[in-house]
């Protein structure tokens, strides 16, 4: 089995300078979530535990898609969802999908999602 190769991304000098400036700024500035929201660098906050749950769910759905031999393109056709959005979901770059999106993905890979409430233990 051959090793996957990475394609070199050709970045314009202007973008490269922008990325370097962001990198340099991050060495000196430690922005909090509120500041990042205010600057428009992030659009919403997702609590860590929710992100973990969504990532676990998406891993299970992605594994089901692969077991069934479906490409992202085929999944997009079956679900009616945008292929790039599906890729973002699978790669953890979209952590706050709607329930409709999750259900459409699940149905396209012949799975069902159950939402089950759980008690939060009392702090002792």
Per-residue pLDDT tens for 11-59? 788 878 877 777 777 777 777 767 767 877 666 666 666 677 888 899 9
Q: Which DSSP symbol is given to 110? A: T
Report d(CA 43, CA 33) in Å as an integer. Answer: 10
Structure tokens of 116? 């089950």
Taking the domains of the chain in order of start, what are their residue ranges? 12-45, 48-108
* Residues in Cβ contact with 60 at an 8 Å cutoff, skipping those fewer than 6 apart: 111
Copy the structure tokens of residue 61: 């759905």
What pLDDT is recorded for position 40? 72
- Percent of the chain with pLDDT strictly greater than 70: 81
Cα torsion 94, 66, 105, 53: sign: negative
Tell the CATH superfamily of the 48-108 domain. lambda repressor-like DNA-binding domains (1.10.260.40)
In the prediction, which pLDDT does 43 show? Answer: 63
Cα angle vertex 93, ends 21, 17, to 5°? 15
Place of tokens 């077991």: 67
Cβ atoms of 99 and 53 closer than 8 Å: no
Statement: residue 102 has pLDDT above 90: yes
Residue 115 has pLDDT above 80, yes or no: yes
Give 8 or 66, the one with higher predicted confidence. 66
Query: Has residue 4 got a pLDDT over 80?
Result: no
Closest CA to 16 of 5, 4, 24: 24
Tell me the mean pLDDT in the region 80-102.
89
Q: What Å distances lie between residue 109 and 3, 47, 93, 116, CA to CA?
A: 28, 27, 21, 21
């Amino acid at each position: 089995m051959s090793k996957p190769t990475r394609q070199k991304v050709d970045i314009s000098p202007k973008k490269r300078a922008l990325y370097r400036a962001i990198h340099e700024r991050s060495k000196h500035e430690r922005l909090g979530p509120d500041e990042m929201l205010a600057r428009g660098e992030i659009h919403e906050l997702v609590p860590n535990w929710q992100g973990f749950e969504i990532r676990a769910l998406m891993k299970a759905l992605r594994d089901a898609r692969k077991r069934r031999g479906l490409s992202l393109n085929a999944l997009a056709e079956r679900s009616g969802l945008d292929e790039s959005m599906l890729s973002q979901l699978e790669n953890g770059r979209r952590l706050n999908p709607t329930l409709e999106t999750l259900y459409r993905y699940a149905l396209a890979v012949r799975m069902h999602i159950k939402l089950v409430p759980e008690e939060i233990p009392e702090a002792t």
